[in-house]
Structure formats: structure tokens, C-alpha cells
């Protein structure tokens, strides 16, 4: 098995990387990558927390909006019910007036007929 080699940038000589030579390099690179991974992990955790906070805020806002809509709907239903009740009272009052007028007209016709009968 061949050992890994590096080439010197100054003298261009090929240097074999033995374990004693490569270990410090490998350790420094490993440490550097571990730091990068840790920073990325912290960044991701921060973003996840921010997303959870935003989702929670949106959920609360949605719930508040739903409550407001339900309250407005309740008020509108009450308003419509009272308006319809008022319309129904007016309609029944108009019906009563018409019936009263019809009764008066019928009584008038009845009196006229009774008068004619009395004359006859």
C-alpha cells in the first residue's frame, strides 16, 4: 500500500506523509471542521427556534382573529334577528290593519244590507 504524499510548494520535493507527520495536520483540519459543524448546528437551531416562535405567534394571531370573527358574526346574527323580528312585527301589524279594515268594510256592507232589509 502506498503512503500518501504531498509536494513542497517551495522545493517541489515529494514528502511522504507518515502518521507522525500527518497526525497534527489531520487533527487541525478535524478541529476546524468540528468548529464549522458546531457553528452550522447553532445557526440551524437558532433558525428553528425563530421559526417555532413565528409559528406560535401566527397561531395566536389566527386564534385571535377567529375569536374576533366569531364575535362579529354573533353580533351580526343578533342584529339580523332583531331586524327580522321588527319586520315581522310590522308585517303582522299591517296584516292586522288590513283585517280590521276588511272587518269594518264588511260591517258597513252588513249594516247597509240590514237597512235595505228593514226598508223592504
Rounded-to-integer distance, Cα 43 and Cα 14, Å: 41
Q: Helix (H) and strand (E) counts for the chain?
A: 1, 2
Give me the pLDDT at residue 61, please: 96
> Rounded to 5 degrees, what angle do the CA atoms 77, 79, 80 make?
65
Res 50: pLDDT: 96
Within the chain, which residues score under 70 in pLDDT? Answer: 1-2, 19-20
What confidence score (pLDDT) does residue 23 get? 78
Q: Give the model's pLDDT for residue 18.
A: 72
pLDDT 10s digits, 35-59: 999 999 999 999 999 999 999 999 9
Q: Give the N- to C-terminal CA distance of the chain in Å, as an integer.
A: 146
Locate the domains of the chain by residue range.
5-119
The whole-number pLDDT of residue 20 equals 66
Amino acid at each position: 500500500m502506498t503512503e500518501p504524499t504531498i509536494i513542497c510548494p517551495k522545493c517541489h520535493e515529494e514528502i511522504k506523509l507518515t502518521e507522525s507527520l500527518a497526525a497534527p495536520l489531520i487533527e487541525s483540519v478535524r478541529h476546524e471542521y468540528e468548529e464549522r459543524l458546531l457553528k452550522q448546528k447553532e445557526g440551524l437551531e437558532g433558525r428553528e427556534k425563530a421559526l417555532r416562535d413565528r409559528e406560535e405567534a401566527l397561531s395566536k394571531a389566527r386564534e385571535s382573529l377567529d375569536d374576533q370573527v366569531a364575535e362579529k358574526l354573533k353580533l351580526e346574527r343578533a342584529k339580523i334577528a332583531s331586524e327580522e323580528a321588527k319586520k315581522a312585527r310590522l308585517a303582522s301589524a299591517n296584516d292586522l290593519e288590513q283585517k280590521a279594515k276588511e272587518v269594518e268594510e264588511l260591517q258597513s256592507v252588513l249594516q247597509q244590507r240590514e237597512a235595505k232589509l228593514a226598508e223592504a
